[in-house]
Amino acid sequence: MGEIKTIEFKDGVLYLIDQRKLPNSYEIFECRTYKDVNFAIKDMVVRGAPAIGAAAAYGVVLAAKEFINEEKESFFKKMEEALEILSKSRPTAVNLMWAINRMKKVIENNKELGLQDLYELLKKEADNIYYEDIETNKKMAKFGNEIIKENAVILTHCNTGALATVGYGTALGVIREAHYSGKNIFVYADETRPRLQGAKLTAWELVQEGIPAKLIADSVAATLIRDGKIDVILVGADRIALNGDTANKIGTFMLSAVAKMYHVPFYVVAPTSTIDFNIETGKEIVIEERSPEEVTHINGVRIAPEGIEVYNPAFDVTPHENITGIITEKGIIRPPFRENILKLK
């Protein structure tokens, strides 16, 4: 299949692989305005913290393109509204705010420029975020590969691959690197209810890459861990607090608890842009609740009775004491997390 291009900005249009349609069909979703980008992030056409950040940055570029013919004062006012809307598209992934803040700085530092020049600078900054993400992923993959032994059996949750980033991946990037370096690895992928990102996306990427793998129901993981079948667990992150507490896809906390009980190493793989230096612990992380339909329906087909109430948090928080290490593009952070995370600031 060649390189997976989750995000591509070309001739003033943002092209996204529509992740709602995989694996049954490979379709491209076109964003021509920042409102299209806002919808794409909210509806999970694009998902995964790094990919959300990059898409939002291009959303700002599309807003600038839309308002370029306005008077200056009106341009800045409308850009402010667009930035506000984009920054609220999803609440948990800190990469979103990180990317929006980078774009905001470009606007604030260049207000004296003509609008065309400002547009060019915004486009350049979004491109920087895009290319940095690929660089970052490759660095993380190399650091992460150091902890993967020959013939390792790896368990992963949700989707942390090329589809969750601009390309290559975080936790799945480490898995790719281990596979390419000939370590003869094997992967168990959790299906990841309720949106099945493991079954639909991770399994798809593993098949595309020819990496030996099996898909499992989420509840099978505990049995495999107990029976000594798993050597290491690799997951991604949407936000990391200063003390190392990590928000990730719902179900991650449960995995970490079982891993701790059976002494299986549990690593989080995330760029430093996912660390929120403004919060001390995971208690401060806003957990997004999503629509009941994600639980009561699969692919639009109802599987639960009418009238049943649903609790559907998209993420949970894994406490730092359950985490062996956090693999970043600057190396592997180990406990004490707060002390070692602050060294990165």
Query: Minimal CA–CA distance to 48: which of 182, 192, 155, 188?
Result: 192
Rounded to whole angstroms, the Cα distance separating 22 from 201 reads 7
CB 148 within 8 A of CB 154: yes
User: Is 195 labelled a binding residue?
Assistant: no
Identify whether 227 is a catalytic site residue: no
Active-site option among 133, 190, 238, 316: 238
Backbone φ and ψ of 129, nearest 5°: -60, -40
Q: Which residue has tokens 């949407």?
A: 238
| Torsion angles phi and psi, residue 92, rounded to 5 | -95, -40
Structure-token pair, residue 178: 């281990």
Are residues 302 and 234 in contact, defined by beta-carbon separation less than 8 angstroms?
no
Cα-based angle 10, 14, 16 (whole degrees, multiple of 5) = 115
To the nearest 10°, the Cα dihedral for 176, 178, 179, 185?
-120
Question: Can you tell me which residue has the tokens 């002390």?
Answer: 339
Is 49 annotated to bind a ligand? Reply is yes
Place of tokens 């430093």: 272
Q: Is 248 annotated as a binding-site member?
A: yes
Please check if 47 is assigned to a binding site: yes
Q: CA 148 to CA 154: how far, in whole Å?
A: 9
Helix (H, G, I), strand (E, B) or coil at 119: helix
Contact 240, 328 (CB under 8 A): no
Q: Confirm whether residue 151 is marked as ligand binding.
A: no
Q: Would you list which residues are annotated within the binding site for substrate? A: 47-49, 90, 197, 248-249
Instruction: Please report, in range form, the residues annotated as the binding site.
Output: 47-49, 90, 197, 248-249
Catalytic residues: 238
